[in-house]
A = this chain, B = another copy of it.
Amino acid sequence: MSAPPHKARPAGPGRVLPDTQQGMRRRNLSRVMHTVSAEGPLSRAAVASRIGLTRAAVSTLVDELIRSGLLEELGPERPGRVGRPGSALAVSGHGPAGIGAEVGVDHLAVCAVDLRGRVRARAVRHVPNRDRSPEPVLADLTELIHRVVAEAEDEGLWPAGLAVAVPGLVARDARTVARAPNLGWQDTDLGDLLPARFPLTVANEANFGALAELWLGEGTPRDFLHVSAEIGIGAAVVVDGRLLHGNRGFAGELGHVPVQPDGPACACGGRGCLEQYAGEEAVLRAAGLEPGEDRVGLLAGRAEQGDADVRRALHDAGTALGIALTGAVNLLDPEGVVLGGALSGLAPWLLPSLRSELARRTAGPACPVSVSALGPEGPLLGAAYSVVRGVLDDPAAVAERV
């Protein structure tokens, strides 16, 4: 009755990391930061009860975080509460800041966000980047970065890192743009072309848009699919509050899901991909319009005025989105779908056909589809806040750099 033994595979990444006192301290520092960030201002006692450690243990951690400039004491709590008044803690408004940048097809943008999630400095430049080589684009971006960093430093902040959103696929090194067809970039290492002063992270704009939705949106579920667009169609999959990257870092390519298997050829090698029906250029073509600079503005304006061709083109794009999302919802079973980025501006004309297509292809209740409140700025905010998130996740690493 005995079969040959199967060799079991090793457990996850935790296997080789010993669980040490030092690691425990780092994780507990992070718990304190996350708790104060999400629920503060809070007293030390409230933090202790939230994370289940003793008041004494929390005080030691809090003192360390205050010394590093990551937490601030706001002074005694207002009277009238029961017990000895404690001093309320908040994340610092003068400590590290996240610098976010976006390379768009028609614009460049940079902002600085403090630990509290407030935008403290911002710079935008409209410039056609299509088929412009990376060097001049990133020289322009560097200028904006220096301007925003100087402004943030004037406000008493210091940049903890730089995160850049790009309209393309990024390799797993989080530095190299593997393919950005609408910029004409391929295998471009942004690390060589941006200021070396800051730790750098590069990611797809749809990914940062989804993270902004997760971290800063109102009532965003922890399992959702975020769909955005800038010429191409991008999506990002968030599972239990974490971004799904995929093996090469290319997950979320909703734009190349086949919608009509015998449809028109696509640059990706496929046929009848969603992008051929719902990409900005496909919609403009279907509406008989020329692709110009402010494509979403043009479509939204015409649709608003009741242009029948534009409304029909957007209706058909919504239907195609509904078919592709039916497949995605069946595979991923998300709690919801969020339309963000440029798509949020077109939502009024896309949503009716999108929702009805999803509903008629689903036996039970259809997956709810909502529109991002952050709009086109989501990816930029998500990039900046990803740096802040890094500080909350491992405050000890930042404290060592202070």
Contact = CB atoms under 8 A, between A and B. Distances in A.
Interface of A: 1-12, 14-19, 24, 27-28, 30-31, 34-35, 37-39, 50-53, 116-122, 151, 214-216, 220-221, 223, 235, 237, 239-242, 244-261, 267-271, 323-324, 326-328, 330-335, 360-364, 381, 385, 388, 392-393
**What are the 3 closest A-B residue pairs judged by CB atoms, nearest first?**
A246-B333, A18-B52, A269-B363
Nearest to A51: B18
Nearest to A121: B1
A2 B120 contact: yes
A31 to B, nearest CB: 6
A372 to B, nearest CB: 13
Contacts of A242: 12
A119 B240 CA distance: 34
A270 B38 contact: no
A117 to B, nearest CB: 4
A11 B268 contact: no
Given A3-B119, A27-B19, A116-B5, A331 B253 contact: yes
B38 A268 contact: no
A50 to B, nearest CB: 7
A7 B241 CA distance: 16
Contacts of A385: 6, 8
A374 to B, nearest CB: 9
A221 B247 contact: yes
Given A19-B27, A261-B323, A361-B270, A392 B331 contact: no
Contacts of A11: 30-31, 34, 38, 392-393
B1 A14 contact: no
A319 to B, nearest CB: 9
A389 to B, nearest CB: 8
B331 A254 contact: yes
Contacts of A221: 247
A2 B239 CA distance: 32
Contacts of A18: 28, 31, 51-53
A8 B34 CA distance: 9
Nearest to A151: B1
A271 B151 CA distance: 56
B246 A117 contact: no
A29 to B, nearest CB: 10
- A251, A261, A331 pick with most chain B CB within 10 angstroms: A331
A246 B332 contact: yes
A51 B16 contact: yes
28 contacts: A1-B119, A1-B120, A2-B118, A3-B118, A5-B117, A6-B385, A10-B34, A12-B242, A17-B52, A18-B28, A18-B31, A19-B24, A19-B28, A237-B332, A239-B239, A244-B332, A246-B332, A247-B333, A247-B335, A253-B333, A257-B331, A258-B323, A258-B326, A258-B361, A261-B323, A268-B363, A269-B364, A331-B332
